[in-house]
Amino acid sequence: MYLCNFIKDHIDMEKTVIENGDNVLISPDLTGLTNWTEGIVIDVENNTFNGIVISAETKDRNVFFGRIDLFKTIRNREICLQ
């Protein structure tokens, strides 16, 4: 029997392609909170003045948007131990 756990890997956004529906962490600089907040990407825009701008919605339906460097992707990876 295998014991499987899901581990969240945080990857810098600048090295990653992001799409609508991706899970992200939103910077405290945007939320005003003390910790990074989980959200789901609802829009990706290539802005002429600011570069790539991400819009993400949290579980409590708040929407935050900002430059790509204010977000981190969350990728679930399954690890099984024997």
pLDDT digit string, tens, across residues 6-32: 555 555 544 557 889 999 999 999 999
Share of the chain above pLDDT 70, in %: 72
CB 50 within 8 A of CB 17: no
Residue 2 pLDDT > 50: no
- Please report the beta strands in 1-82, taking only residues with DSSP state E, as ranges in sequence order: 3-12, 23-26, 37-47, 51-57, 63-67, 71-81
Domain boundaries, the chain: 3-81
CB 37 within 8 A of CB 49: no
The alpha carbon dihedral of 43, 63, 27, 7 has a sign of negative
Q: What dotted CATH number matches 3-81?
A: 2.30.30
CB 30 within 8 A of CB 70: yes
Share of the chain above pLDDT 90, in %: 61
Q: What is the pTM of this model?
A: 0.75
Residue 1 pLDDT > 60: no
